[in-house]
Amino acid sequence: MRKLIILEHEPLSRRLYDMWCIDKLSKYLELEYWDISQVLYPGIIIPSIIESEYVKKYVERDKLVSAIKNTDSDGVIIALEVMFLYKNRFVFELLKKLNFLCIRIDFYANTAIQVKRRRSLLSYFSIKKVFTYIENFLMSKRYKALYKYSFSSSVAANPDFYINHPDYERFMNEDKISLVSNEYILFIDTYYPYHPDIKYYNNSSIHYVADAYYKSMNKLFKFLEEKYNMPVVIAAHPKAIYEQNPFHGRSIFYNSTSNLVKYAQYIITHESNSLSYIALADVPFMIVYPDSYRLVDGLKDYILKLGELLNHEVFNIDEDYSDLVFTRLDEIIRHDYIENYISHSSIMGTNNYQIILEALKKIEKTVSK
């Protein structure tokens, strides 16, 4: 079987190690993880990075280009995880020119909602924004065909192969003991406004709203703690680095979201990917956002669209609290959400590494004919 090269725009974290099923897949095929994060986004910092014999790190563009050129395109399959940004075009162009067999394994399909951007006329006064938008749109059109096979948990993606959303497998294997001894309200952190995606992928920097954001969130937490007589605890985002606790000393748990969701009484969330856990656990929750979401292109529209998809009210935390309420997903919507975004009935109960391995065998037979 061909070697599998995972060409990734992020360093290998524990989350990605599990997501890509590296431990399991490496037992059955030759595998390499090419970390090209510093080539594409110099200076990006991601926590919980792990060292592995399978990792090759590239910092200089010339060395990455040389490595790609010196790789036998007939002997590998490239699992490409690089965003369609114009500055990344050299990667796509080189792989296309050298005729590499590329596949797309979409592990983030549960919140991959298409949002029609509603822009004010004022936004178009930024010539740079207009050109960036056009460039990235053309990138997507030009290079989507580079992916010969697609994997996804989303029915809307119409993939060649269905996979489970990684959260499904993690949740099903979750410990039967809660990390928190008492009843609690859980906040699923998105590391807003410091999330590196905002800076490196959205070309925005909104760190200046942090004080106002944390003030609003802590005010909300205090209100809910007094109303429900239980503490709010924090499930830190996988990319979060908190040198100081911005949540007024409330307990912060790292790499534990699945467990915390499973045993929570109530949940507060933004547009987190961990919505999959909420659907699987069937816990009452509320979706909230701050006024400053309008500063990140498309973010406010996205969270409102998410609410529409789930038929779930979305609350602005910088407005009146009188109508705040935790509610469960409607059972029909919950069932459809799990079926359409998390684990399709045709593969439910089958592990992702088995699905990917069998799919790679089929692809190998097809391209060898």
User: In sequence order, what DSSP letters do the residues of 127-144 get, joined into one string?
Assistant: HHHHHHHHHHHHHHHHHG
Distance (Å, whole) CA 79 – CA 163: 14
pLDDT the model gives residue 158: 93
Collapsing DSSP to helix, strand or coil, 305 comes out as: helix
161-162 vs 147-152, strand pairing mode:
parallel
| Cross-strand pairs, 77 | 4, 101
Q: In sequence order, what are the residues at sequence separation of 6 or more whose Cβ sits closer than 8 angstroms to the Cβ of residue 254?
A: 48, 236, 240
pLDDT the model gives residue 140: 78
Collapsing DSSP to helix, strand or coil, 67 comes out as: helix
Collapsing DSSP to helix, strand or coil, 350 comes out as: coil
pLDDT the model gives residue 123: 42
CB atoms within 10 A of CB 281: 18
pLDDT the model gives residue 26: 96
Tokens standing for residue 353: 């590494």
Choose among 194, 222, 199: nearest CA to 317: 222
Among positive and negative, which fits the CA dihedral 290, 291, 293, 299? Answer: positive
> Cα 22 to the chain's mean position, in Å?
18
Distance (Å, whole) CA 28 – CA 132: 42
Q: State how far the alpha carbon of 42 is from the alpha carbons of 13, 45, 82, 196, in Å.
A: 17, 9, 15, 12
pLDDT the model gives residue 160: 97
Contact in structure between 154 and 109 (CB atoms under 8 Å): yes
Distance (Å, whole) CA 154 – CA 164: 9
Distance (Å, whole) CA 35 – CA 176: 35
pLDDT the model gives residue 120: 42
Distance (Å, whole) CA 272 – CA 259: 16
Residue 160 identity (one-letter amino acid): D
Distance (Å, whole) CA 152 – CA 162: 5
Residue 183 falls in which region: left (phi positive, over 0), alpha (psi -120 to 50) or beta: beta
Spell out, as residue ranges, where the chain has pLDDT lower than 50: 115-125
Distance (Å, whole) CA 283 – CA 144: 37
Residue 174 falls in which region: left (phi positive, over 0), alpha (psi -120 to 50) or beta: beta
pLDDT the model gives residue 177: 92
Q: State how far the alpha carbon of 73 is from the alpha carbons of 39, 80, 90, in Å.
A: 21, 14, 17
| Cross-strand pairs, 98 | none
58 phi and psi angles, rounded to 5 deg: -120, 130
pLDDT the model gives residue 113: 55
